[in-house]
Homo-oligomer: A and B are copies of this chain.
Amino acid sequence: MADSKPLCSRDGDPMAAEALLRDVFGIIVDEVIRKGTSASEKVCEWKEPEELKQLLDLELRNQGEASEQILARCRAVIRYSVKTCHPRFFNQLFSGWDPHALAGRIVTESLNTSQYTYEIAPVFVLMEEEVLKKLRALVGWSSGDGVFCPGGSISNMYAVNLARYQRYPDCKQRGLRALPPLALFTSKECHYSIKKGAAFLGLGTDSVRIVKTDERGKMIPEDLERQIGLAEAEAAWGGSVLLSQTHRHLLDGIQRADSVAWNPHKLLTAGLQCSALLLRDTSNLLRRCHGSQASYLFQQDKFYDVALDTGDKVVQCGRRVDCLKLWLMWKAQGGQGLERRVDQAFALAWYLVEELKKREGFELVMEPEFVNVCFWFVPPSLRGRQKCPDYSERLAKVAPVLKERMVKAGSMMIGYQPHGTRGNFFRMVVANPALTRADMDFLLNELERLGQDL
């Protein structure tokens, strides 16, 4: 029954494989690490979808391609991708990069293992434990549990599922129908993952009760008390402020939460994804809530302590290693270096606010407390016309036009959004540790340049 083809040679040529990887690495250094972080290069090279499809030749065919062609493909992928490490990429919370975190990510990819048992991930099981312990200590907990999740939204779902199980352990077996109606209290300004999670977990979006917020989006405690609810996880973006002695007061009280979702892939530039769910619980809640004791992975007759097999704490089966990038960066920077970055992000955000106030045509949505700076650019034709009836409507159309212009020029990227009754405003995120005051000045100058005819 065995195939008659010769099966004595290894698949592919190891020397060729090594050469290919060296070439690809060289391309990454040139095109991403050097050019991609250079302010004199474009942050993106906009193409319309149909044109980009042509340029990329995406179709998967039956015939394989030679190395030269594959290298050309890598160059094209990089060329037309947005450079999120570029000093003018202000568009997302994960802008910027860290060489040690990237090193950790590349090592992780090359080792290609799953985080579920000590057997196949001895280093990473121990490392995750240590990293989570450190993050918990920063929250203010001397014990507890936790796990890295595929993103903050899933972390939030985990937290809701654990709260539900903690109060009603029957839920795991008997489902929501066996329970009284549940409500999920959250801030009016909560992340949209709360509603997504409520639907996914079978609670339904109607179960989400909105607690009123003040103008900064903070829950009004009296309103919450009126509604009384469960302790909700903090927003995952702000966690890294805990590293700063100067600014950690912004999260005063976080140690009273039962769970905290923290995304070091944002302000700490650990790289996507690095999202920790931290729990104060010491009763093995994660394992009790999610465990299913699959016998082929989590044998109980192993020759080591099976408590080290973390796989049954999660609802996934295989789970990526997300701790090494953060660990290696922390080892290299020290808590000190990371603190300096957080402080610098604050200092730059404040610098931006001061500069913005000096210029005509820029208007803050509100004074920032964190490193997000929300503002309108009011173009020349709208200045002084705040009282006109169509002012808001016209102002709301400015940001999309400027966004299109900056993207097509490739000069910078910054997000915009409407919010409640407020029309589109820019949402500047100061996260990239490579940013300087010159980049803040550039941002303002470039908006003025792009919007001078509006």
Contacts of A200 in B (CB 8 A): 157, 161, 201, 290, 315
* Interface assignment of A58: CB less than 8 Å from any CB of chain B: yes
Does the CB pair A122–B32 fall under 8 Å?
Answer: no
* Partner pick for A272 among B207, B320, B330, B437, CB 8 A cutoff: B320
Which one of A187-195, A214-222, A384-392 contacts B?
A187-195
The listed residue with most B CB atoms (<10 A of its CB), out of A32, A123, A178, A351, is: A123
A344-363 to B contact mask, C-beta < 8 Å, 1/0: 10111011011000000000
Complex A-B, nearest 7 residue pairs according to Cβ-Cβ distance, in ascending order:
A202-B202, A175-B204, A3-B347, A64-B334, A150-B150, A17-B99, A296-B417
27 CB contacts below 8 A, A to B, read: A7-B348, A12-B433, A18-B34, A21-B99, A24-B107, A48-B304, A49-B126, A49-B305, A53-B126, A56-B123, A62-B336, A63-B336, A78-B111, A80-B123, A82-B113, A84-B113, A114-B272, A119-B407, A151-B317, A175-B203, A176-B177, A191-B317, A197-B315, A202-B202, A299-B418, A299-B424, A302-B403
A357 to chain B, nearest CB (A): 11
* Partner pick for A12 among B99, B120, B297, B308, CB 8 A cutoff: B99
Does the CB pair B59–A130 fall under 8 Å?
Answer: yes
Q: How large is the interface on A (under 10, 10 to 19, 20 to 34, 35 or more residues)?
A: 35 or more
Question: A64-B337, A85-B112 are known contacts. Are A347 and B106 too (CB-CB below 8 A)?
Answer: no
A41-66 to B contact mask, C-beta < 8 Å, 1/0: 00010111100110010111111110
Does the CB pair A202–B205 fall under 8 Å?
Answer: no
Within the oligomer, what is the number of copies of this chain? Answer: 2
| Assembled-state Cα–Cα distance A32/B14 (Å) | 12
Contacts of A418 in B (CB 8 A): 295, 299
